[in-house]
Amino acid sequence: MDLPERLLTNKEASRLGMNRVTFEPYTHEQLKIIVTSRLENLVVFKPEAIELCARKIAATSGDARRCLDICRAATEMAQERAEGELKKVGIPEIDAVIKRMHKNTTVVSVRNSSWQQQLFLVSLLQVLKRSGMEEARLHQIIGQFLKICKSHSFNSPSESQISGIARVLSAMRVIHSEPCVTDFHRRIRLNTDATAVDMALRQDKTLKKILSGSVV
């Protein structure tokens, strides 16, 4: 949560002092336990469906909320297909929901975006993962972008060029950028599910390697 940043001035925050607790992404075993506990006494999911969902999310964001969202959507799909009859959710429903996420118009835009635009989104995802929040300041994303370029020997664009990339992605409606007096301090968040964007970016082998590495 970013309530301190939103509600307190820099002077107040400095006087009070703040410690932010960062939670590591869940593993697929932990996600299985979470989903199974939420489905306690309900026999609507086949074990292999929970296994697939947990592995898919653990390989990307590790966010339990995304895992539960997919399970809920898969349950609704199974009910529609059953036409009123009781039907267990299996691998086909989980797989169909994940494929539907990939067909999201924003996700299609992500896949069709340029290399530097995709690298910006990778940087944004890593900042969000590290902070545990759903939005980040532009200067944080720029810092992460330049770290990635340095560690992988990529050509580094200037800070103003990276800011320009953000404006293009905002115009494409891939990200939402809040107006701010200071450009480099504006808040930026994704316009769609982070897990879907992560999965789309992992289609590129280099980006997959960066996303799978530790966040620095």
Q: Measured between alpha carbons, how far is 30 from 54 in angstroms, rounded to an integer? A: 8
pLDDT per residue over 48-79, tens digit each?
999 999 998 888 777 888 888 888 889 888 88
The reply to whether 95 and 2 lie within a common domain is yes
CATH of the domain at 135: 1.10.10.10
**Span of 24-28, 87-91, 137-141, 183-187 with lowest mean pLDDT:** 24-28
pLDDT per residue over 106-155, tens digit each?
888 898 899 999 999 999 999 998 888 889 999 999 999 999 999 999 99
The reply to whether 22 and 97 lie within a common domain is yes
Contacts 24+ apart (CB under 8 A), 84-92: 86/44, 88/43, 88/44, 88/45, 88/46, 88/49, 89/44, 89/45, 89/46, 89/49, 90/46, 90/48, 90/49, 91/46, 91/48, 91/49, 91/52
Domain count, the chain: 2
Beta bridge partners of 190: 175
| Boundaries of domain holding 48 | 1-101
Final residue in a domain of this structure, among 101, 119, 143: 101
The reply to whether 64 and 133 lie within a common domain is no
CATH of the domain at 65: 1.10.8.60
The reply to whether 93 and 37 lie within a common domain is yes
Identify the pLDDT of residue 86.
Answer: 67
The reply to whether 64 and 81 lie within a common domain is yes
Identify the pLDDT of residue 125.
Answer: 95
The reply to whether 95 and 149 lie within a common domain is no
The reply to whether 63 and 87 lie within a common domain is yes
